[in-house]
Amino acid sequence: MGNLLAIPIENSILYVQPLYLESTVSGTSIPQFARVIVALGDQIVMDSSLSRAIARLTGGPAPPAAESPTVAPGPIPAPSTAAPPALAPAPPKGDTKTLVRQAGEEFQKAQQAQRKGDWAEYGAEIKRLEQTLNELQKRSR
């Protein structure tokens, strides 16, 4: 189980709980994202990605399911020395539902970058997700 996130949105709270698989073989205990549980009000959804779960929760269009990448055994690739992608300086815009969907998409992109081992892109997406969540919190005050 990942950390439970409680995100205030207007007059309610969006709960997000990621679920991970972890190997029981010693020395290979890196968790792998498996599912996410999302709850808003009296609705609860579990899906393979945050963006799909939020789409089901809000009745929006669901993005296509991403295929799990196949990881070949071998050496761990060297970390990227490329500069992280530039972040948009402007805060996220849109209504609350749009921002919730955007947060789901950003989380999904971060998970994809993590699976590929692209830590620069992962960090950039997490930063974008943080900005979107901060905007949602500001609006709920």
pLDDT at residue 101, as a whole number:
86
Give the residue extent of every domain in the chain. 5-62+80-140
Q: Which residue has the higher pLDDT, 116 or 94?
A: 116
pLDDT digits (tens, 9 = 90+) for 56-85: 887 777 666 554 444 445 555 555 555 555
pLDDT at residue 90, as a whole number:
53
- 132: closest CA among 107, 105, 103, 110? 103
Q: Which residue has the higher pLDDT, 35 or 59?
A: 35
pLDDT of 7 > 60? The answer is yes
Tell if the pTM clears 0.85, that is, is over it.
no
When the pLDDT of each residue in the chain is averaged and rounded to a whole number, the result is 77
- 18: closest CA among 30, 5, 36? 36
- 83: closest CA among 124, 135, 112? 124
CA atoms of 28 and 12, how far apart (whole Å): 39
> Which residue's entry shows tokens 């599912």?
35
CA atoms of 131 and 139, how far apart (whole Å): 12
Percentage, residues of the chain above pLDDT 70: 72
